[in-house]
Chain A
């Protein structure tokens, strides 16, 4: 999956569950997983692209294969209200400096919440089949719907 958006190089690098398995009796008990490489700094002050994610961080895994439908984002209509950002359960709306930039397709599960909470008319986010071509769908974006009386 191409990044194309703000992100760290190792985002979604591995299929979740594809890692080498060890038996239940081989797992270290009471293990500590470090989210970042080296000295941990407070991540609140670092954007994802500035962090040094450890392989243990689920940021480096992908759940893209869970999706059967996906949201597509239309920048032309978006008013940057950030509704989609606050309610996305999978930290998959990429916003920087008060602007919505797009979707993190490595972590989006295709729930459709972002589309439901998007207030524009027509919506700036719509759900499509996972196989749909983003550019083609953007070309055919629906026009403004009249309010039902």
Chain B
């Protein structure tokens, strides 16, 4: 197997750059560059030189031995000054060593997987971790990375196999004395599994939101102050992480980090009655989008406003507080009054739902669970129909196990892996 290297920090000028080398020749390659190596896991200062002795940089070198490194192979990390020139000189030097080459996209992670340092769910979590922008995304990825999902799958699979073994016993040992009440026992177990999966599937929607961001739609008549409010939030209250051009010109999206949670505010600017069929279609889309959002903030006339409350994802708040005084809660995008209260209320509301999330956040996993649940319910139906249909029940359960196996990557190796590795970029 080749020894590979790549820049592991973001390219460009920076304080520090890390170049990672992994593979059987990693230590030899490092020696060629910096002379003697420190003991493993110990950082040491070394001079990095070209073969002709010219100094490239002075920096830190750390060695990790096979079996005790990220990839499972011998790994060396060079921490250099974050200069593009230094990095490129060091890379040139490394690639001139025989058996050492530049890593392909995702190759470090792939090796970690190959060496059983990570399982499939952990590899996916790692991708999420690297993409994480907010604290919530980070902690979710860390949870999966620590193997929580894989552990759950093992537990579910056990439960499923137990139910399955009872069904199989009804088939393969029908000629022998079986304990009474087996059908009921199986149905009970299946129902329990289906409930667990159902909870996970529901929880996964929240988890998916943590990954992709919660959507908060600001709704109101034209000129109710929606854009002013959004501008205020974006400018003062929360850090914009990206501004996405609306899918229709009628929706403006602003993605930000709200006290650690990823959120996307939707300004459904064009929601007005219109005769223009094209525009009407846009308005329709905007409406649908708002309905699907996790929270809808309705900006209403001052007289319609009450206390600040988010119920079933909907809040009614008074608008243009700066222009009018009224007894209920109100805010103003111009003065900023009430905005902070609203954001805290949103955060509180979302945090509660985040606490209910399950172990799965990835769409691939969710689909597998949905299918597994379907199979389990179908199996229960067959079992309840009576002995005649145990063969079909068993088939459904086999399928359900198959789906769980797919989550941790027991089957369809090539497809699943191909897809996962395609989303990785180099050197991670």
Specify whether A and B are partners.
no
Which residue numbers of A lie inside 8 Å of B, CB to CB? none
Which residue numbers of B lie inside 8 Å of A, CB to CB? none
